Amino acid sequence: MDSLSDTIWDVVICGTGLQQSLLALALSRSGKNILHIDPNEYYGGPEAAFSLQEAESWVATLSDPTNQNNAGNGGVFRAASITKPEATSPALKFSRSYSLALSPQLIHSRSELLAQLVSSRAHRQIDFLAVGAFFIFKAPEDLDHKAVLTRIPSTREDVFLSKAIPVKAKRGLMKFLKFVVDYDSEPQTEAWQPHADAPLTEFLRKEFTMEAELQTYIVTLTLSLDGRISTRDGLAIIHRHLSSMGVFGPGFTAIYPKWGGISEIAQVACRACAVGGAVYMLGTGIKSMQTGYSAEMELELELTNGVTVKTRRLVQTDEPASEKVVVSRLVSIIDSPLNSLFAAVVEGAQKPAVAVIAFPSGSLKTSAGKTWEFPVYVFAHSSDTGECPVGQSILYLTTPSITGSKEVLEQAVQSFLDAVSGEQVPHGVYQLYYEHLGGPAGSRTEGQVFKFPAASPSLSFNDSTLKVVREAWKEVLNEAATGADYMAFPDREGAVYDEEMYD
């Protein structure tokens, strides 16, 4: 501990969420003195993945009003609870058979994150899995029919083969898909820019005479949390979705890291920085900070373990914006593999481990009988993700958090299971519920302190996160950042690797 106090650290990074961990990866070959701490006893922060026992400890921590570490996940979680139906709980396996992701996110194949993981050589330690089909839940027309899941076509071939879309509607959808491919060039920009801030649904209706059901298909592909995405943002996301199709193989447009999603990337990034000489301390936060006590303008930090350290720069997470974005999340372990969801979309495609199901706005009701005005998204994960035992699966559900959201998510689980059931209806054997708050849009600097925005509850990874990480990297390196390669590292001398994942 004396050596910690004796060292003048170039940077202290507090938190091991994705942003902090990517910064650690970017600095891993810099030769800087790096102290990386986390008040939690685990890696990942708001992107962590938990065993069942860890989930129970986490819920207890959030529920304890005397606990000083309730902001250990960036202060973005609240109202957590666990439910285990007594009749089915014996189906649960041992605790570490599960890895429940707090913030599951899809990564589109064209994401800059993947390019940086490759150029930094970090991708070699991550197993990526295919995200398969996107489905729309359709409620039964009457008591004689069953609810169904309809796959959303996202290529021209899919549109031609779809039996769920009328011929006339197919023409409109084909026209839109062709438009999106070059949406950001003339003359397409002239068509959408007057509608840039209007809802995407309005643009689809006016410019493509698209009916409401087909609009729902398009909006679902954006994974918009409230279904009210703007034309500008919606077109950008749809373009990314379509241009990502087939990049790493036929039939899928996004990937998901095995063993807990984004948390796996965070841990790999931290390991790379540790190999580069950084010092790591879990279960250690910052108790107090003193500024300007020396001519060098170093910071003096008193850590929660009683040690005082000096640093030239501190990087930490900002507090979440008060009530800016709040979503309700429910994680449900299912006693069935749900095999019908994880079939390859096209011949020769990789078997997917994730499927996306959307309950469109208005398709569910609250316990009081009020129509739910927001979409509910379900990420179904097979045991291939490493997040549950063989023979089971996990559902991750998300919707905006207002009165009745928990009951709506529970209703969505049952409606989904009824739709996919065969001779036997699958059951939920474990349920983790919590609310996730959003953060400010950007970073900010206060003297020697750089603050990341709180983690976003978005369902797909947004590359804007990477811009903030690079800002922090420049702050830490200062003049040394000029002309330096960012996230581009040669192989470490003497290291032996398997064959490249990407050619």
Q: What is the pLDDT of residues 349-384, one digit of tens each?
A: 889 999 999 999 999 988 888 999 999 999 999 999
Ordered by where they begin, the domains of the chain are 2-66+261-319+441-481 (3.50.50.60), 155-244 (1.10.405.10)
User: What are the tokens at 21?
Assistant: 């961990």
pLDDT in tens, 15-65: 999 999 999 999 999 999 999 999 999 999 999 999 999 999 999 998 876
Q: In the predicted model, what is the mean pLDDT of the chain? A: 89
| pLDDT on residue 479 | 84
pLDDT in tens, 77-127: 999 999 987 655 568 999 999 999 999 999 999 999 999 999 999 999 999
Q: Which helix (H) or strand (E) holds 290?
A: strand 286-290
Measured in degrees and rounded to the nearest 5, phi and psi for residue 275 equal -60, -35
Residue closest to 6 by CA, chosen among 231, 309, 279: 309
Cα four-point dihedral sign 326, 341, 331, 407: positive
Query: Rounded CA gap, 181 and 482, in Å?
Result: 36
Q: Look at residue 457 and give its three-state secondary structure.
A: coil
Q: Which helix (H) or strand (E) holds 314?
A: strand 314-317
Cα distances from 266 to residues 16, 125, 150, 357, 462, in angstroms, run 7, 11, 35, 27, 16
Q: Is the pLDDT of residue 320 over 90?
A: no
Per the model's pLDDT, the better-predicted residue between 369 and 466 turns out to be 466
| pLDDT on residue 500 | 45
Sequence-separated (6 or more) residues with CB below 8 Å from residue 215: 200, 201, 204, 205
Give strand pairing partners of 400: 327
User: What are the tokens at 121?
Assistant: 């050589």
Q: How many CA atoms lie within 13 A of 292 on its CB side?
A: 2
CB atoms within 10 A of CB 334: 25
Cα distances from 190 to residues 176, 181, 183, 310, in angstroms, run 15, 15, 10, 55
Cβ atoms of residues 356 and 135 within 8 Å: yes
Q: Which helix (H) or strand (E) holds 378?
A: strand 376-381
Identify the burial level of 340 via C-beta atoms within 10 angstroms of its C-beta, where 0-12 means exposed, 13-18 middle and 19 or more buried: exposed
Q: How many CA atoms lie within 13 A of 205 on its CB side?
A: 9
Q: Look at residue 331 and give its three-state secondary structure.
A: strand
pTM: 0.93
Cβ atoms of residues 100 and 331 within 8 Å: yes
137-141, 234-238, 327-331: the lowest-pLDDT one:
137-141
| pLDDT on residue 414 | 94
Query: Rounded CA gap, 428 and 89, in Å?
Result: 9
